[in-house]
Amino acid sequence: MKLSGAVRILAVAIMAETMAEARGIDKSVAVYIISDRDSIDRDVKDQALGLAHRMFSNIDVDIRWHSGRPSVEDRNAIVIELTTGTPVTLRPDALAYALPYEGVHIQVFWDRVNIYDAPSELLAHVLVHEITHILEGIPRHSENGVMKACWSNQDFKAMRRMPMRFAPVDIKLIHLGLEARNGRAMASAVHLKDE
């Protein structure tokens, strides 16, 4: 029997998550937000961070929000920059982008997100989408849910009523990615300690 690529990825992810659960992997993630205080309404930002936190909590991932830049000791942190004044030629169809192979940086084009109705709900979904790219460590997309490559007008309307869900394969890949990130952070800490 020949398995499709997606089925193979899901099978490997399920096995890895089962092993990770047996070892008690830390499923918390420090995320640092960098923004110009005057560029984003505090209530919109707080609502977005709260919703994004709940979306990840539903899949047993604890996002810990911080402002500013991480300290050198926080090697496993994700850094999100909320920017304004985005040039029209810079990724013209994107609301944000992540660097999943680098594993740290995300840029959100706040000036593009802010023009939509319900910017807090949209910002939450954009944050969740891009953080997921970082946690999975790959630039893949799903057929539906929060990890769709392009959201339709129906998706934007649906976000206002209830959060979009993760596809099962994304949940597995996120947990697998967390295990890998934790392993790299521990190896880095041991290496620095030995120097």
Q: State which H helix or E strand residue 156 sits in.
A: helix 153-161
> Which residues, including other chains, have CB under 8 Å from residue 112's CB and lie 6 or more apart?
86, 94, 95
Query: What's the CA gap between 144 and 111, in Å, rounded?
Result: 26
Q: Please state, in angstroms and as integers, the Cα–Cα distance from residue 10 to each residue in 19, 69, 168, 174, 182, following that order.
A: 14, 34, 8, 11, 21
List, in order of start, the domains of the chain with CATH numbers.
27-194 (3.40.390.10)
Print pLDDT tens along the chain (195 aa).
Answer: 455 655 555 555 555 555 445 456 789 999 999 987 677 889 999 999 999 999 999 999 999 999 999 998 888 899 999 999 999 999 999 999 999 999 999 999 999 999 998 999 999 999 999 999 999 999 999 999 999 999 999 999 999 999 999 999 999 999 999 999 888 755 655 444 445
Distance between CA atoms of 64 and 14, rounded to whole angstroms? 25
Report the alpha-carbon distance of residue 13 to residue 176 in Å, rounded: 6
pLDDT one-digit tens code per residue, 61-86: 999 999 999 998 888 899 999 999 99
The pTM of this model reads 0.84
